[in-house]
Amino acid sequence: MAKVTIIEDPASGNGKSVEVENGTTVIRAAAKVGVEIPHFCWHPGLSIAGNCRMCLVEIEKMPKLAIACSTQVTDGMVVHVNSPKAIEARKAVLEFILINHPLDCPICDEAGECNLQDYTYSHGPGHSALEEAKNKKSKRVPLGPNVVYDAERCILCSRCIRFMDEIAKNPTLTFVERGDRVYIDTFPGKELDDPYSMNVIDLCPVGALTNREYRFKARVWETSSTEAICVGCARGCNTNIWVRNNEIVRLTPRLNPEVNNYWICDKGRLNSYKHVNSDERLNSPMVRKEGVLQDVGWDEALAHAADALKPFSKDEVGVIGSPFSSVEDNYVLQKFAKQILGTANLAFLDHSVDGDDDDFLVRADKTPNSYGAREAGVVSPKGIDVNRMLELIGAGKLKALYVMDDDIVSSKEIEDVLAKLDVLLVNHWVKNRTTEIADVVFPSATFAEKSGTYVNFAGRVQLARPALSTLEKERVPGRFRMSRLDNFGSAFDEWNKGSRRNVRSSWEIISAVGNLLGGRMRYQSSEKVFEELAQSNPSFRGLSYAKIGYRGASLSKGPVGRKSNEAVVVK
């Protein structure tokens, strides 16, 4: 171990001492005591390049300034972060970078979250001694289907190059030309079309690499940011959901070393929230009258659903859960099935795509919570799966079916089988082939509109909070990290004044139907549902929303494989 002293304020001369392992760099040692050293090219998830020189610091007994990103500590080292020499050096570095950097901040997508803007304000000289015209380079260059490059803004930090080489394992980008003409380009005959290519946008410290889909959609100060998870596969990557006018405008990765580190795949970034913004969203309960689904109020739809289930015995009713829904939704559903309906016909579909995975982040299971649904109890005590339920429907033995947050009609054959039901009740967030043939349809909240927990493939429980406001809001205590707001309430609603959907969490819908059938499911929030689950289920024992936090927590069990009687694919 080496003991290092980091002096941030040269006026006071007081330093912060820290012990770190030999070989630790100065920039990491400073971070351990909460001192940020300005930097562009350095990133904790990448190798060291040392080419921006922004992290220059003064180290006692060293004749010259040293770059903090690559200089390793020694025992007794004293580092002056903001000495006069270091400050002057940073000013010179920024002046050099800004010589040819375009002054187009008002139209740059990175404005408001740009490191160059921040450092120029806090460390820059405030003027330029250069009077010559700026160098002109290519703008709006498509490097691939999702990434656009502006060579004039590029500060040549090489983060994008190192990411493709070291993390994506797909060398695609390189420096072209030299001197003041250098720029980033793809190798001849290649384009930036990798499953993880859009991570270079997050890595770029300026506005040189931009998201083609997000370009000119919003400014960061116009949006709220909520910490959530990606629901595109069983990895459950940690994300930030960015919302403007109550609509998701982008998803970005959030650091969690236990799950996805700094990264996220392009499919999850672009597609995992499209159903939330879909024009096909359900916005009102519907009941089939005279062969046609008609919009009705919540009370009428709930009463109709309860009345429709009353005539059937426990063996005549089936319930299908959802690996897309939260642990709370699935827990209340299985309780509804087992305690109120008394049925053993309970299962959920598997949505794995064999071969569509990799050894980095992407999983073949394309749902966020199949592990959680199983642990919550959505498993038949008699080993009955969805295929068996379809056989029972075809034989006329199963006459009523409740489907939560899944589209089980994947073929005309299944649609014909479901047509034999006397009653089909469905919760979902968008119109689909299952809702089209249902007798009662409830519009349910998506992952971005409700609080809930999800268990990834490794058995890690993660908490998602609502990023969007709905008409049927669930008020839960908790802190939302937003760009301009730090509370969830009237101010949050005012900020997201776009259209709010008339939806409810599935656990709320199922509880209401169950209570009309004589049950006693009086939950005030998803947190209360989880508290009951944690008390009754050994896998979740000792956990709470507070303990799960924003990084998640592990179940008492480890990862498990899929069993043949727990989740099957309907062909």
Q: What is the mean pLDDT of residues 248-265?
A: 96
Residue 537's CB is within 10 A of a number of other CB atoms, namely: 17
pLDDT at 359: 93
Same domain, 332 and 452: yes
Q: Is the pLDDT of residue 488 over 90?
A: no
Q: Is the pLDDT of residue 171 over 60?
A: yes
Q: What is the pLDDT of residues 347-369, one digit of tens each?
A: 999 999 999 999 999 999 999 99
Instruction: Identify the domain containing residue 365 by its residue range.
Output: 286-559
Confidence of residue 300 (pLDDT cuts 50, 70, 90): very high
pLDDT at 471: 85
pLDDT at 528: 96
Tokens of 5: 């002293």
pLDDT at 356: 93
If you count DSSP H runs as helices and E runs as strands, how many of each does the chain have, helices first?
17, 24
Give me the number of domains the chain comprises: 3
Same domain, 271 and 293: no
* Contact yes or no for 135/180 (Cβ under 8 A): yes
Q: Is the pLDDT of residue 70 over 50?
A: yes
CATH number at residue 511: 3.40.50.740
Element (H, E) at 441: strand 440-443
Confidence of residue 13 (pLDDT cuts 50, 70, 90): confident
* Contact yes or no for 108/153 (Cβ under 8 A): yes
Q: Is the pLDDT of residue 476 over 50?
A: no
Same domain, 316 and 457: yes
Mark which of 277, 311, 326 sits at the end of a domain. 277
Q: Is residue 402 part of a domain?
A: yes
Same domain, 201 and 336: no
Element (H, E) at 452: strand 452-455
Same domain, 459 and 504: yes
Q: Is residue 302 part of a domain?
A: yes
Tokens of 150: 């502006």
**Residue 158 and residue 49: Cα distance in Å, rounded?**
8
Computed over every residue of the chain, the mean pLDDT equals: 90
Place of tokens 């015209």: 133
Mark which of 214, 242, 277 sits at the end of a domain. 277
Q: Is residue 570 part of a domain?
A: no
pLDDT at 477: 37
Go through the chain and tell me how many residues it has: 571
Q: Is residue 414 part of a domain?
A: yes
Same domain, 108 and 256: yes
What's the predicted TM-score (pTM) here? 0.89
Same domain, 193 and 298: no
HEC readout, 304-353:
HHHHHHCCCCHHHEEEECCCCCCHHHHHHHHHHHHHHHCCCCEEEECCEC
Contacts of 169 (CB under 8 A, 6+ apart): none
Same domain, 65 and 15: yes
Which residue from 524, 520, 519 is spatially nearest to 508, judged by alpha carbons? 524
Mark which of 238, 259, 277 sits at the end of a domain. 277
Q: Is residue 193 part of a domain?
A: yes
Same domain, 489 and 536: yes
* Contact yes or no for 286/441 (Cβ under 8 A): yes
CATH number at residue 68: 3.10.20.740
Q: Is residue 564 part of a domain?
A: no
Same domain, 241 and 298: no
Q: Is the pLDDT of residue 10 over 70?
A: yes
- Per DSSP, 489 falls in state S
Contacts of 388 (CB under 8 A, 6+ apart): none
**Residue 454 and residue 448: Cα distance in Å, rounded?**
13
Confidence of residue 557 (pLDDT cuts 50, 70, 90): low
Same domain, 256 and 295: no
Please report, for residues 7, 9, 10, 11, 168, the alpha-carbon distance to residue 14 in angstroms, rounded to integers and kept in the order given: 6, 7, 8, 8, 43
Same domain, 320 and 268: no
pLDDT at 130: 80
Q: Is the pLDDT of residue 484 over 60?
A: no
Which residue from 404, 324, 430 is spatially nearest to 367, judged by alpha carbons? 324
Q: Is residue 370 part of a domain?
A: yes
Q: Is residue 105 part of a domain?
A: yes
